[in-house]
Amino acid sequence: MDLKDALKTRRSVRRFRQEPVPDAVIEEMLAYAPWVPNHHVSEPWRFVVVTGPSLQELAEIRKSAVLEKRAGEPNADARAEKARDEFLESAAVIVVIQRLDPNPVRREEDYAAVTMAAYNLMLVGWELGVGSFWNTGPLVASTEARTWLGLLEDEKAVAFLRIGYPEMIPVQRRSPIEERTVWRR
């Protein structure tokens, strides 16, 4: 698959086959993450790959975070169970973590680099037949998740990437870029 094909065909995959993604494939995905523009090459990222029994633990933490956010809503239990099950249906979850620079401008530049690093690994995964889904929601702000992940005071979880071999690839369209581009000459 060439780069342009990967960019146009990659989709957010919600449903995965019950098949593990080999560690070597995940390692290859991660190997390409750092190759992004990064101011002063600060490399403000780190990743936690969650599989096996640890995935069950993280899924339960996600369920608790959703229950806390949705407390009092009539469908809170069902949404929380669905959130937990989404993690359990994944082969792995890759947690994308940003080191927070005290300088707010640098912090924003680093956030951009961290999200690009995450997207690099998603694109390489796509080339290798691995789908992914970018999750944020209440889990990124969860104190329980912070503790479980061992985040330092100067770190934050940016995304929880669910990965696996796609059961179904969604169809997606984009509006023509000309509708969203202005040229000033």
Tens of pLDDT along 114-147?
999 999 999 999 999 999 999 999 999 999 999 9
Rounded to whole angstroms, the Cα distance separating 122 from 134 reads: 9
pLDDT of 148 reads: 98
Residue 162 has pLDDT above 90, yes or no: yes
Residue 91 has pLDDT above 90, yes or no: yes
Rounded to whole angstroms, the Cα distance separating 158 from 149 reads: 12
Grade residue 54 by pLDDT with cuts at 50, 70 and 90.
very high
Residue, of 59 and 172, whose pLDDT is higher:
59
Grade residue 174 by pLDDT with cuts at 50, 70 and 90.
confident
Rounded to whole angstroms, the Cα distance separating 97 from 106 reads: 16
Grade residue 16 by pLDDT with cuts at 50, 70 and 90.
very high
Residue burial 27-52, b: 16+ Cβ < 10 Å; e: rest: ebbbebbeebebeeeeebbbbbbbbe
In 3D, which of 85, 86, 156, 95 has the Cα closest to residue 121?
Answer: 95
